[in-house]
Amino acid sequence: MSTETDLLIRLDDLSDPRIAAFMEEHLQDMRATSPPESVHALDMNKLRQPEIAFWTAWLSDERGAPGQMLAATAAIKHLDAAHAELKSMRTAAVLRGRGLARRMLRHVLAEARQRGYRRLSLETGTQDFFEPARQLYASEGFVDCGPFGSYRLDPYSCFMTLELK
| Integer CA distances (angstroms), 131 to 88, 89, 101, 106, 138, in order | 16, 14, 14, 19, 10
Across the chain, mean pLDDT equals 90
* Chain centre to alpha carbon of residue 72: 8
Look at residue 24 in the predicted model and tell me its pLDDT. 82
Read off the amino acid at residue 156.
Y
What's phi and psi for 25, nearest 5 deg?
A: -60, -40
Question: Per-residue confidence at 60, pLDDT binned at 50, 70, 90?
Answer: confident
Q: What is the pLDDT of residues 126-146, one digit of tens each?
A: 999 999 999 999 999 999 999
Neighbours of 17 (CB within 10 A): 8
At 129 the three-state DSSP class reads helix
CB 26 within 8 A of CB 86: no
Q: What is the mean pLDDT of residues 91-114?
A: 94
pLDDT digit string (tens) for 4-45?
Answer: 557 899 999 999 999 998 888 877 777 778 777 777 777 888
Are the C-beta atoms of residues 141 and 102 closer than 8 Å to each other? no
Q: Which residue has the higher pLDDT, 23 or 82?
A: 82
What architecture is the 4-163 domain classified under in CATH?
Answer: 3-Layer(aba) Sandwich (3.40)
For residue 52, pLDDT beyond 50? yes
Structural domain spans, the chain: 4-163
Tell me the C-alpha distance between 149 and 86, whole Å.
Answer: 12
How buried is 2 (Cβ within 10 angstroms: 0-12 exposed, 13-18 middle, 19+ buried)?
buried
In 3D space, the residue among 120, 93, 92 whose CA is nearest the CA of residue 106 turns out to be 120
